[in-house]
Chain A
Amino acid sequence: MNIKMFLGRRSIIAFIFICLTGILGPVLIEGNPQDTAGAPFAYPIWWNSRNLPASADFAFNEKGCGFEWSKLPPAVFSLMGTIHADPKANVKIIWRTPRRKYILASLTGQSVYWLNLDGRDMIFKQFLGLPLIGKSVDFLFPSKGRYSLEIDGAKYADLKLSLPGQRHGLLGTDQRGRDVFVLLVYGIRTSLIVGISATVIASFLGMGFGLAAGYIGGWTDTLIMRAVDVLLSIPTLPILMVLAGIWGKGLWQIVLILSIFSWMGTSRSVRSLILTVRESPWIEGLKALGAKRSYILWRHLVPETAPILLANIALGVPGAILSEAGLAFLGLSDPRLISWGRMLHEAHSFGAFTEGAWWLLLPPGLGIVLLCLIFMDIGRYLEEQIDPRLGGGGRDA
């Protein structure tokens, strides 16, 4: 096999790139991918962003502060921090918009106040006299102009006004405000681990059964091949769903479940190869020289199946990745485990459709497609190397 040509193939370069991203990405990205990074359903920063505000934080001391606002309202209005004051004094926090002023809080009777106000809070909305259904930010940010926060009667204050915008990161955020790009990078690992390990296990199972069926023959052969026929004529997804439902949805359980139900193809092709090789003259010769069965099996038949096995692994990975994504899409995966299928599940179940949040849908889906195409291409290349007659796919079948 020509190593230089192999490495020069586009699919191999893409595969190496994706692997590196999957391994290095989680190391380089700081923080937990499950943490909230911005407002829910924030757009990607480069998309349709002329009027949408980016996330902004403002720090205030007891004097208060003002700023200019020229965009649409932010996604969330939240004010946090501490205020120290004389217990007898009445502390008022006033939010001045270009239209009118709101008293956000009126505090008295303590020397220290901890504030945590959120515009989505029903009680806070009621306190402000805003409609309970609807977004409070539309009233707190009614138009362009100068906004200011004033604090009356405080000795000392340390407040932070957080205004998560509707723009965040390379690929926006999901329904919980997590960064989609970070999730995407973390998802690579799951897809690769599940896809590759399930296929490797399945291929070895298939090789074992195929060798047994082809070399031992007789009843073993009949039994294994009947089992293959039966397993191939049962719909896979329902059985995978039932198994994932009862056995558990962890990463390795899914790997195991997938590999139990995908060894059949490999065992068929290994068996047919063994059947032809078994009758060949050089095996006859070995037998005549007095070679033991186990010697023939391990030294001659197993190496003979290796190329088929390699191509089978590469061609089988897309199937495993698709199955895993399908299960995760149906919600039958560990909710704590970030995977592309899980991302699609959450996009489908938690309102990405009503929000029109395409950035929750396209990146994981296209990622799955890309990985599958890469493995198909590698597999086809390996197959061509094994059997040059297959070369150039598009010509006569």
Chain B
Amino acid sequence: MNKSWLLRRIFSSLAVLAAVLVLNFLLFRIMPGDAVSTIIDPNFSPEAKNRLRALYGLDRPLIEQFFIYIKQMLTFRFGLSFLSRKPVWDELMSRLPGTLALMSSSMLLSSVIGIWLGVKASLNRGRWIERMVLRAGAVTASFPGFFVQLVLLMLLARTFPLFPLRGSMSIPQPAGTSAIIFDYIWHMTLPVITLTLMGFGGWALYVRNLMVRTMGEDFVLMARARGLTERQVVYGHAFRTILPPIITIMLMSVPGLVSGAVITESVFSLNGVGTFLLAAVSGHDYPSAGAAFYLLALITVICNFLADVAYGIVDPRVRIEAGNK
């Protein structure tokens, strides 16, 4: 792959990361009082208060605090949680796999189903499948995701108890590895299905629009004129040209996906970074809240970067254009 193009991508990802770091630093400094005011008891002696401030480095000048903070964030030393008194890093790492599993599986499912439906819709203009795709795309945009999840939760976990009402594991945990895996999948089914349900409509609509436009282009006509089979025309020629924009939309959907995962974890009481962030925010546990926000933003930045790289691989024009410069 072209080197300068890759460097530019890396640089722009680092710019976003820097913005996130500054934002995260400022957010917790502009609030009334300071971060330890919630754990300071009014009855503490002034010495105790000062020692606590010094412990969290709040007695130093703001600039010095900023550099210490940057160092901590880049080395992932987030300090101790106010609530659990355990290292925030350990707490986050125990929850990260669950969140990543939820996000990646629902993204995979919704993009595969959405792309497949979108292509099918574009090949069946005016039939029921196209009408369904158009409607699904419009409806899912105006439905609050958590409302759909709540309704499905009530329907499928309360009225027809097929799925568990809450949690990402049964309590007590079942014995045996296969039983644990099965139990986990059983708990994750409804969250993943509902997230997929909310996501595939937009994908299908987008892919359908792209495909409709592409199928009308001359090179498709040319491919047909050369006597290729319809399958080759659609998947070998037309679909390949819409891969780069598909990757763009994947890139743009990551922030929304993170937001969706946060709220989904709350609805289903899953043990993840989102619920951790919520507990930290409502419990005024600032080290944890800052670290969780940083981690979620970091996931987004990394995903964006990967999507950029993938874009370069799929679209040769990017490489050539960058190479010419």
* Chain A interface (Cβ < 8 Å from any Cβ of B): 226-227, 229-230, 232-239, 241-247, 318, 322, 325-326, 329-332, 344, 347-348, 353-354, 356, 358, 361-362, 365, 368-369, 372-373, 376, 394, 396-397
Contacts and interface: CB of A to CB of B under 8 A. Distances in A.
A368 B259 contact: no
Nearest to B273: A238
Given A332-B282, A353-B154, A235 B300 contact: yes
Contact of A243 (B15, B27, B157): B27
A330 B266 contact: yes
Given A233-B300, A356-B159, A376-B142, 17 more contacts: A233-B16, A234-B20, A235-B254, A235-B259, A235-B296, A237-B259, A241-B281, A242-B290, A242-B293, A318-B142, A325-B147, A329-B144, A329-B146, A331-B278, A332-B281, A344-B150, A353-B158
Nearest to A321: B144
A230 B15 contact: yes
Interface in B233-262: 252, 254-256, 258-259, 262
22 contacts: A233-B255, A233-B304, A234-B19, A235-B259, A235-B300, A237-B259, A238-B277, A241-B277, A243-B27, A245-B281, A246-B30, A246-B286, A318-B141, A325-B147, A348-B267, A353-B165, A354-B158, A362-B151, A365-B150, A369-B143, A369-B147, A396-B212
B204 interface: no
Contacts of A372: 142-144
Contacts of A226: 15
Contacts of B154: 353, 356, 358, 361
**What is the interface of chain A mostly: helix, strand, loop, or mixed?**
helix
Contact of A238 (B158, B252, B258, B284): B258
Contact of A330 (B278, B292, B296): B278
A242 B281 contact: yes
Interface of B: 12, 15-16, 19-20, 23, 27-28, 30-31, 134, 138, 141-144, 146-147, 150-151, 153-154, 157-159, 165, 209, 212-213, 252, 254-256, 258-259, 262-263, 266-267, 274, 277-278, 281-282, 284, 286, 289-290, 292-293, 296-297, 300-301, 304
A374 to B, nearest CB: 9
Contacts of A234: 16, 19-20, 23, 255, 297, 300
A365 to B, nearest CB: 4
A394 B134 contact: yes
Contact of A376 (B28, B141, B212, B259): B141
A221 B178 CA distance: 57
Contact of B284 (A237, A245, A332): A245
A51 B143 CA distance: 36
Contacts of B252: 232
Nearest to A249: B282
A386 to B, nearest CB: 20
Contacts of A232: 252, 255
Contacts of B213: 397
Contacts of A356: 154, 158-159
A326 B278 CA distance: 12
Contact of A365 (B151, B259, B266): B151
Nearest to A329: B146
Contacts of B293: 238-239, 242
A140 B49 CA distance: 57
B147 A331 contact: no
A322 B16 contact: no
Contacts of A246: 27-28, 30-31, 286
B319 to A, nearest CB: 22
B147 A344 contact: yes
Nearest to A372: B142
Contacts of A361: 147, 150-151, 154
B255 A235 contact: yes
Given A326-B144, A326-B146, A353-B165, A245 B282 contact: yes
A397 B211 CA distance: 10
Nearest to B130: A394
